[in-house]
Structure 1
Amino acid sequence: MFADEGASVAVVDIDASAARETADRILELGGQAIPVQADVAQEADVERAIHTAVQRFGRLDILFNNAGVILPKAMEDVQVEEWDRLMNINARGVFLFMKYALPHLRKTRGKIINMGSMTGLAGQKRNVVYSATKGAVIAMTRSAAVDLAPEGIRVNAICPAGVLTPLLERWFAQHPNPVRVRESQDKSHLLGRTALPEEIASVAVFLASDESSFITGQAIQVEGGATIGYGVGPKAEWGADETAHEFLDHHTRFGEAGGAV
């Protein structure tokens, strides 16, 4: 969607083939893009990714931090190594990219968009680690906005709930009852459905544009009303704690398999 608006895009992914695939799609549609393989939790990789983008395109106007992983578990079942992994990817990665992008964004009075989550605002059952990482992202966003406003750099976060990505589709498919779990996911949002990726991306494009020129330091909730009562709808619909636990247990197993958001 950024490419549709004329942006040249550096596609950063830990999976080199995924980065190449996305960049190729942009090129096929007439846009400008390069793939960059990098681990967002590794300082040297982040510094190299920023350098590569600036070297190729000559400037940096927009930073969109969108990497993340999830591991839903009860607090007492979380291993310290799992805590560290989520913190390193979801929070440390955001910090590192802001740190190394900042010298270039100062030259362009650029914009930073960070991917938060409604769980960082409202919390979520069996998701204490992920919620903590997203709370950290939201806090970093607000503090960075305070620091950088005098330099004309705006910093905002997007906080979605469920988003109908290919990853979520795979999650549905792995469940013993895919139809039921999908319906329950939809009903956990007040609007009765799960967001499309384009509905999140369009907000990112808006926050990167001059149309949002007086918005900074905000955690924009794009979650279909889910934070008003996330998870209440499905439990009431199923009418049995056993079914709700089945949903959560499968969600946990999916996260343990490396599910990302």
Structure 2
Amino acid sequence: MVYGDRTAPWQKPLPTMYDLPSEDPEEPGLPDEFHDLQPALLSLTCKPAEYWPDRCFTATDLNLYYDSRHTNWYKRPDWFLVLDNTPSTDQETLRWSYVIWQEGVIPYLVVELLSPGTETEDLGLTQRKSGKPPTKWEVYEQILHIPYYVVYDRYQNRLRAFRLQGARYQEQLLPDRRIWFNELNLGLGLWQGIYDRRDGLWLRWYDAQGNWIPTPSEQLQERDEELEQQRQRAQDAEQKAEQLAAYIKSLGLNPDEIKPPEQEV
């Protein structure tokens, strides 16, 4: 007969990152690296052709207050886009939160990144408990009437998009894992590549020609590559000119005295 647990503390397996998702049990899974990187890529590549930068506001993990009768109720989208609303222009006016009754403009699009602790709520599979605030799905669909709701599951590499039609969200068909937004003249899709030195399948924006919108660092890299190609072409042209001059000299001629033939008019 064994009385009690005689296993030494150092022999017991320590909890992993999956066992300790957050110090706050009310908010499991906050924060993690992916929820920092992916929203940043969305903001860097969100360049609607129909809107100037000062008419688009994007936010990551910002409290969204939606009911003036219950001022302590909020949701915290992983990422959202607001059209026709001005971003802060200086440090002092940076938002602490997004308050609907103060801003007067609802988000156009909300993106949620699925994680094991939030999956059921993000997909609208949870029921509102008595005496508790409405669920995330209820807020987006029935209270704020946000036009588009996108959910990305990086574990299953699955992108789902919902469009508000009437009073309910209708899931959109995404045969190529992309969704186009006519109002923005932009699309959102899954891109396989390296972002911030991490290889993976990322959610990012693309233009009407199907080209992925580059980040500022990618633009600099493209510019540097183009400059390098120009330098290489100039070096090749110079080398060929030198070889031609050497060949002309080998024929006993002076390259400087040779004139190109005149063009016929």
- TM interval, shorter chain, is under 0.3
More helix by share: 1
Structure with more relative contact order (C-alpha pairs < 8 Å, separation 6 or more): 1
More strand by share: 2
